[in-house]
């Protein structure tokens, strides 16, 4: 049993360590987010067993040649890039070159990622000309962190903030101020409006990804004059969305319905 007197951070971390291992944890964005959360818990708690768990899991995904297990470049999936965040952290901690090989691979994927005619990243190869709100969280914090670490940050931010502004403009429901889940620039998908390409629904989960991507980038981008315009553009998006989200918050629970506009 986990001691109820421990902090929620410690209790949840210990629970994750007991439930997951290299036998049952698949390579996915969900695993990536779990490992990032555990690393942050380690930073708060100082529990070396948590850090060891994170490293053991990453060592399982990344063999000595740095070629990530089950990773497929040709899938061009945003979801598989999310693991790059914690791998970049582990490279900085250990200096192990296999992690550099892995994050280089993710970065190169983004360099050749298919784009819509307007310049937005496809969500994956199987979703041509589609941008999903989820994709911003899956790739942007990693890409910006990578360029901050290895160079080319300004050019990276120029592109990434264009991605944020483009998907905002194209998914915006002007009646509610909320963002729809996805946008198909070709307007061919059965789920989209034929004239706008927007999906019909507003998903709280997808909007959450988008807002958290904004928050993460504002933490990552240096607060320096060179990047003042980039920060201002992100802050404009965040400050426009925040009061809208509050209007749709459930008064009784403080939570949001998954389908926010029904």
User: For residue 225, what is the domain's CATH number?
Assistant: 1.50.10.10
- 139 and 104 share one domain: no
231 located within any domain: yes
Q: What is the pLDDT of residue 22?
A: 82
123 located within any domain: no
**Which of 113, 143, 163 corresponds to the end of one domain?**
113
73 located within any domain: yes
Q: How far apart are CA 145 and CA 41, in angstroms?
A: 20
Q: What is the pLDDT of residue 3?
A: 60
Could you give the number of structural domains in the chain?
Answer: 2
Q: What is the pLDDT of residue 139?
A: 98
121 located within any domain: no
- 68 and 159 share one domain: no
- 211 and 180 share one domain: yes
127 located within any domain: no
Instruction: Answer whether 2's CB lies under 8 Å from 8's CB.
Output: no
Burial of 256 (0-12, 13-18, 19+ CB in 10 A): middle
Q: What is the pLDDT of residue 25?
A: 78
Domain that holds residue 104: 1-113
Query: Looking up tokens 């404009």, which residue turns up?
Result: 236
- 59 and 97 share one domain: yes
- 77 and 144 share one domain: no
Q: What is the pLDDT of residue 4?
A: 57
Which parts of 84-212 are beta strand (E)?
130-132, 182-184
Bridge partners (DSSP) of residue 115 are 121
**Which of 113, 144, 177 corresponds to the end of one domain?**
113
Q: Which residues have a catalytic role annotated?
A: 134
- 192 and 67 share one domain: no
Q: How far apart are CA 171 and CA 210, in angstroms?
A: 12
pTM, entire model: 0.94
CA dihedral 208, 74, 127, 186 (to 10 degrees): 120
Q: How far apart are CA 68 and CA 80, in angstroms?
A: 10
Rg of the chain on CA atoms, in Å: 19
Instruction: Answer whether 135's CB lies under 8 Å from 101's CB.
Output: no
Spans of the chain below 50 pLDDT: none
């Amino acid at each position: 049993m986990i001691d109820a007197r421990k902090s929620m951070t410690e209790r949840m971390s210990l629970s994750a360590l007991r439930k997951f291992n290299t036998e049952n944890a698949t390579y996915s964005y969900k695993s990536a987010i779990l490992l990032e959360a555990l690393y942050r818990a380690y930073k708060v708690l100082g529990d070396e067993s948590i850090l060891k768990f994170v490293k053991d899991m990453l060592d399982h995904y990344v063999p000595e040649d740095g070629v990530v297990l089950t990773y497929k470049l040709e899938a061009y999936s945003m979801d598989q890039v999310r693991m790059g965040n914690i791998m970049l952290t582990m490279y900085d901690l250990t200096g192990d070159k296999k992690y550099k090989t892995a994050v280089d691979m993710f970065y190169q994927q983004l360099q050749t990622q298919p784009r819509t005619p307007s310049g937005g990243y496809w969500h994956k190869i199987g979703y041509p000309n589609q941008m999903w709100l989820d994709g911003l969280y899956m790739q942007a914090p990693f890409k910006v962190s990578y360029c901050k670490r290895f160079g080319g940050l300004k050019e990276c931010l120029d592109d990434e903030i264009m991605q944020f502004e483009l998907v905002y403009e194209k998914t915006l429901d002007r009646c509610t101020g909320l963002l729809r889940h996805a946008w198909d620039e070709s307007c061919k998908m059965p789920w989209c409006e034929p004239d706008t390409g927007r999906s019909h629904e507003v998903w709280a989960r997808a909007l959450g990804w988008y807002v958290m991507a904004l928050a993460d980038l504002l933490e990552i981008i240096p607060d320096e004059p060179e990047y003042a315009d980039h920060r201002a553009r992100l802050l404009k998006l965040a400050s426009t969305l925040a009061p809208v989200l509050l209007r749709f918050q459930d008064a009784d629970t403080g939570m949001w319905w998954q389908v926010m506009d029904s």
